[in-house]
Chain A
């Protein structure tokens, strides 16, 4: 039986690596993939707690997180395609129309 701390530390490491990816990369699709990785780290925390506290509510929440992530993927990627049609680039440094 593996203690819950191992799962939580692994989830924290994945979340931190996702944060580094979001703050460091320039490609909008890679940033989106790192956001998905952060969501998955949180899913792992939820399921670990659900197992160790004997409650099913954590897994129901993971169900809804997965659903929201799927909806967000559809809309976010459509947004990137629309932006690419306008600017021929998905570099986040090029999203600067509102810049002073």
Chain B
């Protein structure tokens, strides 16, 4: 039952991502990408990470994709009319298939090793997923957390300066 659900959601995710790459109208690409993000949020719930699923929907589907759709509508981007040279499309597709083949090769040939930790489904249910992430984020990963706040400040200032009419 669970594998049927996994295969259905995976098929929807792959079909949506192929639509992102092949649609001529960029709004159709953006909406297909939103569908892909929702499928990935479903996978995060299946992997016992509900906080990550919520964050994915809020940040990616809710903020980044809305921003992209705003920019598409602001710049009035039309559908792509003249086709790129077919040799470029063919070369890109060959390289992409090569990347897929290389990744699957290492997946099949390699072994999944790693020190297993203490987290499992029972402890997630008992302690709470958000508490576990909060504990790790504010003790072990405090420095990246603080640096991320400075990164966001730099991004905000940079975006405002770049879009100004006159600096």
Q: Which positions in A face B, CB cutoff 8 Å?
A: 1-2, 4-10, 12-27, 29-30, 32-34, 36-37, 40, 43-44, 47-57, 59-60, 62-64, 66-75, 77-82, 84, 90
Given A29-B77, A47-B52, A59:B133 Cβ within 8 A: yes
- B56 to A77, Cβ gap below 8 A? no
Q: Within 8 Å CB of A13, what residues of B?
A: 14, 100
Bound CA–CA A73/B37 (angstroms): 15
A31 to chain B, nearest CB (A): 10
Q: Within 8 Å CB of B154, what residues of A?
A: 71
Q: Check if B104 is an interface residue, CB within 8 A of chain A.
A: yes
Q: Within 8 Å CB of B75, what residues of A?
A: 80-81, 84, 90
Task: Classify chain B's interface size.
Answer: 35 or more
Q: Within 8 Å CB of A44, what residues of B?
A: 40, 43-44
Q: Which positions in B face A, CB cutoff 8 Å?
A: 2-3, 6, 10, 13-14, 17-18, 20-21, 26, 29-30, 33, 36-37, 40, 43-44, 46-49, 51-52, 55-56, 59-60, 63-64, 67-68, 71-72, 74-75, 77, 80, 84, 88-89, 91-93, 95-97, 99-100, 103-104, 107, 112, 114-120, 132-133, 136-137, 140-141, 144, 148, 151-152, 154-156, 158-160, 162-163
Q: Within 8 Å CB of A82, what residues of B?
A: 162-163
Total A-B residue pairs with C-beta atoms closer than 8 Å?
Answer: 216
- B163 to A81, Cβ gap below 8 A? yes
| 8 cross-chain pairs, A with B, having the tightest CB-CB distances, nearest first | A23-B92, A20-B96, A16-B100, A71-B155, A54-B117, A21-B21, A78-B162, A12-B103
- A75 to B47, Cβ gap below 8 A? no
Given A7-B47, A29-B71, A37-B20, A66:B26 Cβ within 8 A: no
User: Which B residue sits closest to A50, measured CB to CB?
Assistant: B49
Q: Within 8 Å CB of B46, what residues of A?
A: 2
Bound CA–CA A48/B114 (angstroms): 13
- B20 to A21, Cβ gap below 8 A? yes
